[in-house]
Amino acid sequence: MAPSGSRSMKRGCQRVLYWIPVLFIALIVAWSYYAYVLQLCIESIEDTGEKVVYLLLYHVIFIMFVWAYWQTIFTQPMNPLEEFHLSYSDKELLEREDRGESQQEILRRIAKDLPIYTRTNSGAIRFCERCQLLKPDRCHHCSVCDKCILKMDHHCPWVNNCVGFSNYKFFMLFLAYSLLYCLFITATDLQYFIKFWMNGLPDTQAKFHILFLFFSASMFSVSLASLFIYHCWLVCKNRSTLEAVRAPVFRHGTDKNGFSLGISKNLRQVFGDEMKYWPVPMFSSLGDGCSFPTCLVNLDPEQPSSPTGSNPANKAAAEGRQFPSKPLRESQSRLLTSTPSWTESDSATNKDIKGKKLRLSSITSCLHNSLKINDCNLKPIL
């Protein structure tokens, strides 16, 4: 009992310590609100119109920033569905096997009916011994949360949460609004920061808040800008932070662009179909987090090959077999409905060829009939 009690106490202390970075951010935000609203706008700005405009814009940005931050912290990361967990009989069967190859055969049999297309670097089925489940594509085990997270990006200490499929949109909006928050404070505080050095401010405690407010906002702007630009690049490439470090391995090999569908579809996969909901911290991402449409360059060797040659329609069908066999959500499947432009041009070309063949056959038939008539006219003469 004592070891288990000490472990639970240690775990509880760790959970308390994990909230320290969040508390630090909350204190800085609370101080910035006090310094900007009370010390700068109310105490230092004399023009009423300027004061009202600054306060209105500030509170709009502040509310969106706090809303996105709250959603990022308290949105629970999604875990794999029950169908990816091993059944009791499969667990017993797996424990009885000592050889790794035999265990892989069991896992391959289970994964056969699941939408799993990524592998380990050695080509084995991705299996989590801690959670006793087959990892869906883009799913990873978080050592801090001690669970498997769908489309895990990273564990962020500043939000004390795993950033993954369920809250990645909120994390992006948190970066965007926090950067906008810092830039707005820096821009509106600049003229009063200059007045501080030119002794143009009254000798009160407000001038020190204005000084430190400008320094802190400008420094946070630099770090937030670099982080936000990096994650924008990841969204456009449809990669997570983990996939940027180590490219996903498919059955045909490593492919860093395996999940990329183009910039437009990649953005829609994270933010949703309707652009009016993009800036709002409400969940609108497409899919279920367990299966993702892919854009594989090479054909999957385990998929049945088509003997139909280079017909574009057959190529499209072959590429379609590389997507999960299970039906995707309607919102996610819409990402795959647009057809490439070359199919339209090819169909037009095929129509032209058919038309030319029909015209050629009609000309040959006319020539054949005229030859028959001439032959009949010559026979009496002969």
Catalytic residues: 156
Residue 149 identity (one-letter amino acid): I
Residues 6+ apart with CB under 8 A from 91: 132
Q: Are 28 and 69 in contact (CB under 8 A)?
A: no
Q: Are 265 and 287 in contact (CB under 8 A)?
A: no
Q: Is 243 helix (H, G, I), strand (E, B) or coil?
A: helix
Q: Write the CA distances from 180 to 172, 211, 218, integer angstroms.
A: 12, 19, 11
Token pair 């204005």 in the structure block, residue: 210
Token pair 């050629």 in the structure block, residue: 360
Q: Are 328 and 347 in contact (CB under 8 A)?
A: no
Which value, to the nearest 10 degrees, does the dihedral of the CA atoms of residues 325, 326, 331, 335 take? -10
Rounded CA separation 193/13 (Å): 42
Rounded CA separation 80/85 (Å): 8
